[in-house]
Structure 1
Amino acid sequence: MSEAKFRDIAQLIEARIDEGVYPANAKLPPHRELAAEFNTTPVTISKAYKLLAELKRVESFVGRGTFVIGPSALSTAIQAKDGEGFNFSILQPCIHLNLRQVRQAYRDATETLDVSLLAYAEQSGHEAHRQSGVKWLQRFGVTDASIENTLLTSGAQQALSLVINTLTQPGDVIAAESLTYPGILAVAELSSRNVVPVEMDAQGLCPKALKRVLKTDKPKLVITLPSHQNPTGITMGEKRKAEIAKVMATSSAYLVEDDIYAFLNDEVITSISSRIPDKGIYLTSLSKAISPAMRCGYIKAPLHLIPLLNAHIRAEIWLASPLNFMVATQLIDSNTAFTLAEGQRSEAKARQRMTENILGPFEQTPSGFHVWLPLPPHWSAERFTTEAKKEGITLSSGVHFSANGKEDKHVRLSLMAIASRATFEEGLETLRQLLTKKPLPNVEF
């Protein structure tokens, strides 16, 4: 075997990366698989991967595998692009449905603006704004929310980062659903926390699997998305929430309940965190119901954690923008926010029906903002998203949602970012045609 063979193989892999066979952030095949393809040994493939790592083309993670270096998984999975094409990637409300009311709320806010809102404030924000946050939380199942245990943040993503960085240290373990929101993985990676996946079933986070992880891996935090879970779309029922609360009640870990889609549920079910008030932390925001640009998030946390979380808020951002929360408070107190949320829910239901009519039957949540779309056997998620991009379709590959780096033959299809229903339908039809095709063979080397 030539001593330079690993270099030749590295060049072939690099060519595949450049041609999109291995897209940015995609997981490369295992050593043994490529060794068989190139009629060599796993050691030679390891040398090729090492060379590619030195060239900054790939990055390896112990226990997860080797990945193509590109934009962050978060920016690849969630692309808030403007312009032509069909953006089925970003999960956001249909902004145009809320524009008139939000525009008016900002106008009204400027007319009543006073000195207090232009100055610093104690705690995480003004008392009136926290009180409106309590009203929002209680409407969607956070029964123990109060002005004393509710904090204001610059959106749910900042809340998530705040909780992780406040309650854990570098090297600590965080447990998350085996398929989860890439924002969780991004925060963990940037802050050097280790994510341990917890198995899911048809009802969401599996209590037995959670119990095993709590015993063997001893995570400091357990993060779950109980409503319209991103990406699977699963919503926990009363029984499952009670089971998770029972498991967490005997653990030393905190539960972080990222429940940003609770307003889409058909029925209000008491939050998990309200069942374990000393262990449960609840996160949400107005980003999906009203507008992501408002950056209005809420944390409900155990009372003994409030001073510590407040200290971190002050150290990081001092306080979330009172101007935005003034608008949020006006929308909530007038009940306009709840009307807008219901409008988004109705639009999501209509788009779910349109999607099923064009793409065929699949497991869905009737009022969800997205579909976890299974792919035909002849497509991998990475290859499908690459080919879809050539058709002007932006999708989120299932690989970006995997907490353990395993390949998943799904793509996440956002239903709400495309404003026009006619354009949305056109995009679905283009997607349907692509699903029926078979990918061209990989380039032979």
Structure 2
Amino acid sequence: MTTWIPDLSRFPGPVYRGIVAALAHDIDTGRLPAGSQLPPHRLLADLLGVNVSTVTRAYKEAASRHLIGGEHGRGTYVLGHADSLNLFALADRGRLIDLSTNTPAYPQHDDDLQQALAALLARGDAGLLLHYQSNLAWQQQRLAAARWLALRGMPASAERIILCGGAQHAVASALALHSRRGDTILVEALTYPGMMAIARQLGLQLHPLAMDAAGVRPDALDAALSQRIGRIAVLMPTLHNPTTITMPSGRRRAIAEVLSRHDALLIEEDVYGQLPTDAPPPVATLLPQQVIYVTSLSKSVAPGLRFGILHDPNASRQTLDDALHNTSWLVSPLAAQLACNWINDGTAERRLHWQRQELAARQEIARNALAPLTGQGIHFDLPDASPHGWLRLPAGRDAEQTQQQLRQQGIACSAGYLFTVQRHTPCNALRISIGAANGRDDLARAMLLLQAQLAG
């Protein structure tokens, strides 16, 4: 076994932080796969010429980020990217006010599911939903999905749709269909951890594209395509996670022009696209033959349905079905039928309207709480209808330390490093997910604690 020795020359600053940064970098690049054993504290200290306490502090910090773990008799070993995976699990609401999980707000009193299940049972043939479904049944559900896309201004053929277990499953299916292990995928320089998890699972590399206030820069995309770094891009043009940026129409046209000129493929993830009432049309409407469009009901209606929609303009019906079968065989017929019934009877749209109203109320709470900090180098990006805000901190305040301090006070949020494609890239910001708090009162308490922490 080769002993891991971190290269600290790339990471200036305190040595313990350099060890943690090097560890994260080597995990990201594959030098340290999950399960790799790390040298004991004293051995690494001797190799680096530092005190044992420095290595102990570094390992403790890495463990707090869930990069490493330890067991008696096994030593210290790499967990991988468990810290980012924690974003998919709600924080324990008995102990924390959760502002870390990007989930929609929940109504305090919600009987839509009970009514929907009662209506299904009243049909008398609900038991059929426990079996494999006929092509006719799936076709009816794809038609409902096409109607949902039409509400977003996205024309779609039901024959070009596959139903997936959420948007992440849809993106993974699209990449499995159109890429090969070892390919490089072009993504925003800041992207959601789920995209990184997909890349690891499929053996893909990610290339970060520079961004500005309007989203991915066309020149960055053009350069990557010209240099043949990759031929597929995965972008989130509306309410980008985590930065909240929505590409204006002009930027979307510029991105479409670059894609068209290089004959490149875009997977457009539009899970937040239904939330704003004034979002520009999807890029897919500008370049329909080169854009695979992905969305779901998770951020706008109900995440528990796990109802994702993938529209591929070029793949045959058989190819699309094979892509689904190769990953999960099929989505849950029961969940799909519930989702489609809600689309057809207006429940989904009603829940979308409620979500917009609730987010507007929560946004007012969040903005008012942080308003006194205006002018102190703190910038809180929270556009209308966004379920998450992007809190950019001044140079003198470290985002990771602030995240840890907030957690000690009972508030969970997400530090910017979780979203960097290249983990050593500086990102001094916090993502604040206002939908995850268990009601407006909890959100108000959390935001006041956040204000006090930042003002201190």
Distance 1:139 1:10, change over 3 A: farther
Equivalences for residues 200-211 of structure 1 within 5 A:
200-211=211-222
Q: What TM-score do you get using the length of structure 2 for normalisation?
A: 0.81
The residue that corresponds to 1:178 in the other structure is 189
Bigger relative contact order, structure 1 or 2 (CA pairs below 8 A, ≥6 apart): 1
3-state SS, counterpart of residue 263 of structure 1: coil
The residue that corresponds to 2:382 in the other structure is 364
1:191 correspondence with 2:202? yes
- Measured after TM superposition, the shift of residue 424 of structure 1 is 1.0
Q: Distance in 1 between matches of 2:226 and 2:363?
A: 39
1:392 correspondence with 2:410? yes
Residues 296 and 307, structure 2, Cα contact 8 Å, conserved in 1? yes
Q: Deviations over 1:86-115 (max 9, x none)?
A: 100011111225722233222222322445
The residue that corresponds to 2:349 in the other structure is 338
Q: Distance in 2 between matches of 1:377 and 1:148?
A: 51
Q: Distance in 2 between matches of 1:223 and 1:3?
A: 39
Residues 91 and 97, structure 2, Cα contact 8 Å, conserved in 1? no
- Measured after TM superposition, the shift of residue 125 of structure 1 is 6.4
3-state SS, counterpart of residue 262 of structure 1: coil
The residue that corresponds to 2:30 in the other structure is none
The residue that corresponds to 2:58 in the other structure is 17
3-state SS, counterpart of residue 152 of structure 1: strand
3-state SS, counterpart of residue 187 of structure 2: strand
The residue that corresponds to 1:121 in the other structure is 133
Matched residue count: 399
The residue that corresponds to 1:248 in the other structure is 259
The residue that corresponds to 1:87 in the other structure is 98
3-state SS, counterpart of residue 288 of structure 1: coil
Residues 276 and 384, structure 2, Cα contact 8 Å, conserved in 1? no
Residues 162 and 324, structure 2, Cα contact 8 Å, conserved in 1? no
Q: Which amino acid aligns with 2:303?
A: P
Equivalences for residues 112-191 of structure 1 within 5 A:
112=123, 113-114=125-126, 116-121=128-133, 126-143=138-155, 145-191=156-202
The residue that corresponds to 1:259 in the other structure is 270
The residue that corresponds to 2:34 in the other structure is none
Q: Deviations over 1:385-415 (max 9, x none)?
A: 1111111111111001011221200010000
- Measured after TM superposition, the shift of residue 308 of structure 1 is 2.3
Residues 380 and 409, structure 1, Cα contact 8 Å, conserved in 2? yes
The residue that corresponds to 1:36 in the other structure is none
Residues 124 and 313, structure 1, Cα contact 8 Å, conserved in 2? no
| Unmatched segments (≥5 aa) in structure 1 | 28-53, 59-68, 438-445
Q: Which amino acid aligns with 1:5?
A: D
Q: Distance in 1 between matches of 2:51 and 2:147?
A: 58
Residues 97 and 438, structure 2, Cα contact 8 Å, conserved in 1? no
The residue that corresponds to 2:361 in the other structure is 350
Residues 149 and 301, structure 1, Cα contact 8 Å, conserved in 2? yes
Q: Distance in 2 between matches of 1:379 and 1:79?
A: 27
| Unmatched segments (≥5 aa) in structure 2 | 1-42, 69-73, 375-379
The residue that corresponds to 1:31 in the other structure is none
Residues 373 and 412, structure 1, Cα contact 8 Å, conserved in 2? yes
Q: Distance in 2 between matches of 1:13 and 1:130?
A: 58
Q: Which amino acid aligns with 1:392?
A: G
Q: Distance in 1 between matches of 2:434 and 2:338?
A: 27
Q: Distance in 2 between matches of 1:137 and 1:11?
A: 58
Residues 124 and 314, structure 1, Cα contact 8 Å, conserved in 2? no
